[in-house]
């Protein structure tokens, strides 16, 4: 759909489980843009630091790990230092680590630089917590997606259950509420809606309905 010569950047923010990733992937496909999963990037960092036993307060070890870290995307796969880590980074533990380490300035500086570089060179659809407010403040289009904590927990629980991971709905809901608190209260670039973003509540709505709403807005303003 993106027939314009100039690139188009779409920022989609919102809390965990709001449906950002699924919807962003399809919007990117419809726009012939690249989907950049920033959440996966933070999960990958969290997974690597956890795997290497690096504590959040060990600045020297953190800097060494970050300097030697490369994250990329290839046909839907998340590559950490050349290794596909799709499943390793989608566990509740990896999510908690992502929330913990994403509050560290060194981690955010590293990943934001990578994300901005991608957006400067090509059309992208990027989802995360602070894309419209910090990473791509001049994005062509900004959306803020949300949903009730209960519905987001149910979605995530079903996703983990389908993957055979032994979790309870109560634990998933607790994790989501804790992550909401962490993401929205951190001092550095907290989760919040950009002033010029379009807010979309996905509670009780299908993925296709939300995609159609986003594409209609982009079509009208392009």
Known binding positions for ATP: 14-22
In this structure, what token pair is assigned to residue 66? 């970050």
- 3-state SS class at 10: strand
The Cα 58–Cα 76 span in angstroms is 32
- Please give the annotated binding residues, written as ranges: 14-22
Residue 158: its H or E element = helix 149-162
In this structure, what token pair is assigned to residue 49? 């630091």
The Cα 194–Cα 99 span in angstroms is 20
In this structure, what token pair is assigned to residue 193? 């809606």
């Amino acid at each position: 759909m993106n027939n314009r010569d100039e690139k188009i950047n779409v920022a989609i923010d919102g809390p965990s489980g709001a449906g950002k990733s699924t919807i962003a992937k399809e919007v990117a496909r419809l726009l012939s843009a690249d989907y950049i999963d920033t959440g996966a990037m933070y999960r990958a960092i969290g997974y690597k630091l956890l795997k290497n036993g690096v504590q959040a307060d060990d600045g020297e070890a953190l800097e060494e790990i970050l300097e030697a870290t490369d994250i990329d995307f290839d046909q839907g796969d998340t590559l950490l230092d050349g290794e596909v880590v799709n499943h390793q980074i989608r566990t509740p533990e990896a999510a908690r680590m992502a929330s913990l380490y994403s509050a560290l300035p060194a981690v955010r500086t590293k990943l934001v630089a990578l994300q901005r570089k991608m957006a400067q060179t090509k059309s992208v659809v990027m989802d995360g917590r602070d894309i419209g407010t910090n990473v791509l403040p001049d994005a062509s289009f900004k959306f803020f997606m949300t949903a009730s904590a209960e519905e987001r927990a149910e979605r995530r629980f079903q996703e983990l259950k389908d993957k055979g991971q032994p979790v309870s709905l109560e634990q998933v809901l607790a994790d989501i509420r804790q992550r909401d608190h962490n993401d929205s209260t951190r001092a550095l670039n907290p989760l919040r809606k950009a002033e010029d973003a379009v807010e979309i509540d996905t509670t009780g709505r299908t993925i296709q309905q939300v995609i159609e709403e986003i594409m209609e807005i982009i079509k009208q303003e392009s």
